[in-house]
Amino acid sequence: MLQPIVLVHGGAGDIPFERVDGKLVGVKAAAKIGYHKLQETGCVLDAVEEAVRNMELDPYFNASYGSVLTADATIELEASIMNGANLKVGCAALVKDIMHPISLARKVMNTPHNFLAGNGAMELAEQESFEILHSGQLVTHYAREALAEWKEGLNKGEERFARTEIGTENKYKKVETETVGAVAIDCKGNIAVATSTGGITGKLPGRIGDTPLIGSGTYADNLVGVSTTGHGETIMKYCLAHTILKRIDFLKENAQIATENACKTMTERLIGEGGAITIDYKGQVGISFTSKRMAWAYVKDSTIHYGIEKNQHLQEFL
Ligand code: ASP
């Protein structure tokens, strides 16, 4: 019998110091809520969905409420969820004005398709009685400021930094990314993964990143589950989630080493930074990021583990 685990991340990036505490509170709460859900229903999909829903409500994260803005100052959301027991997936992109894109992605699992985007995704949301919010209700002051700062950088001819975003200097601190994700394993070794984001500040309308892409932002089978975060254009070229799985499967690396090596080699090869959280079939956890910070937390055996800085691993008994 394995120990059940719910592991979450709150996004990799150049997170400014003043956002650190809020993010740690958010990831710890999400891990606990996801774990309680797992105890309540025994279902890893329920656990990851619940953990992500919690972070979608939290303006400290770039997912649903608090999402970053496109160059047109709108919000376009994306999410994916995968069940490691049967490889069923649900993905949604170019979604607007709903509070829980991760739950819409889960509804996509019940259609004949894997991925719905734009109008089709919104039609499903309406059919499934999702509350459609007024345009602009998900926009925060922080996101507006981040877009203004991004535009200022662009006007100064610093597009390279502003569009690349990850790995930029502190002066672009408000364009850091803060996507959310969760991985869970139950005592029988069933694994599920969920990831949700608003993307990157100043993205062109219609841009889709790595988060809803299976193998890039999310992957789960009962061998390994991975949720990633960071510069989407980089992560999707490297298929980061599936690369971690391959390292565990073929190179026999453990979850931590595979996650570290995959993030490191991706950044060495493609420059863009990122991070990932992993649980493997032995119930081993992997957490790594090449960005300055990434908030993470997991609950296992009545203890919550968490951190946000490099090589930081704090724990508290629940
Ligand atoms: N990967 C996301 C994207 O590029 C952003 C993030 O992880 O924060 O859309």
pLDDT digits (tens, 9 = 90+) for 170-193: 333 334 568 999 999 999 999 999
Is any atom of ligand 1 closer than 6 Å to the C-beta of 34? no
Give me the mean pLDDT over the 104-109 stretch: 98
User: Would you say residue 103 has pLDDT above 80?
Assistant: yes
Over residues 156-177, the mean pLDDT reads: 47
Closest atom of ligand 1 to 232 CA is 4
Instruction: Give 204's DSSP letter.
Output: P
CA of 301 to the centre of ligand 1 (A): 31
In angstroms, the Cα distances linking 297 to 28, 193, 215, 269, 312 are: 6, 15, 22, 28, 11
**Residue 64 pLDDT level (bands cut at 50, 70, 90):** very high
Atom of ligand 1 nearest to the CA of 231: 4
What's the CA-to-centroid distance between 78 and ligand 1, angstroms?
10
At 122-155, the pLDDT tens digits run: 999 999 999 999 999 999 999 999 999 888 887 7
Q: What pLDDT is recorded for position 177? A: 67
Atom of ligand 1 nearest to the CA of 274: 7
Q: What is the pLDDT of residue 90?
A: 98
* Side chain identity at residue 19, one-letter code: R
- Evaluate whether 276 touches 244 at the Cβ level (below 8 Å): yes
Establish whether residue 209 lines the binding site of ligand 1, counting it when its CB lies within 6 angstroms of any ligand atom: yes
Ligand 1 atom nearest residue 217's Cα: 1
Residue 65: pLDDT above 60? yes
DSSP letter for each residue of 257-310 = HHHHHHHHHHHHHH---EEEEEEETT--EEEEESSSEEEEEEEETTEEEEE-ST
pLDDT beyond 60 at 163: no
**pLDDT, tens only, 223-279:** 999 999 999 999 999 999 999 999 999 999 999 999 999 999 999 999 999 999 999
Ligand 1 contact, 11 CB (< 6 A): yes
For residue 260, CA distances in Å to 7, 72, 227, 310 come to 16, 36, 14, 12
| pLDDT value, residue 178 | 83
* d(C-alpha 141, C-alpha 121), whole Å: 27
Task: Confirm or reject: Cβ of 199 under 6 Å from ligand 1.
Answer: yes
Do residues 103 and 130 make contact, with C-beta atoms less than 8 angstroms apart? yes
pTM of the complete model = 0.95
Which pLDDT score, from 0 to 100, does residue 154 have?
78
For residue 211, how far is its CA from the centre of ligand 1 (angstroms)?
A: 6
Given a cut of 70, whether residue 318 has pLDDT beyond it is: yes
Could you read off the pLDDT of 111-128 as tens digits, one per residue?
Answer: 999 999 999 999 999 999
**229 part of the active site:** no
Share of the chain above pLDDT 70, in %: 93
Does the C-beta of 267 come closer than 6 Å to ligand 1?
A: no
Angle at 116 between CA 115 and CA 117, to 5 degrees: 125
- Any residues with CB less than 8 A from the CB of 148 and at least 6 apart, and which? none
Judge contact between 36 and 64, C-beta under 8 A. no
* Fold of the 5-317 domain: Glutamine Phosphoribosylpyrophosphate, subunit 1, domain 1 (3.60.20)
Cα–Cα distance, 41 to 30 (Å, whole number):
16
pLDDT > 90 fraction of the chain, expressed in percent and rounded:
89
Q: CA 227, CA 242: separation in Å to the nearest integer?
A: 10
Under the banding of pLDDT at 50, 70 and 90, the label for residue 158 is low
Q: What is the domain partition of the chain in residue ranges?
A: 5-317
pLDDT value at 164 more than 90: no
Quote the pLDDT of residue 167: 43
Strand 115-117 relative to strand 88-95: parallel, antiparallel, unpaired? parallel
| CB distance 232 to ligand 1 below 6 Å | yes
Q: Which tens digits make up the pLDDT trace of 2-52?
A: 999 999 999 999 899 999 999 999 999 999 999 999 999 999 999 999 999
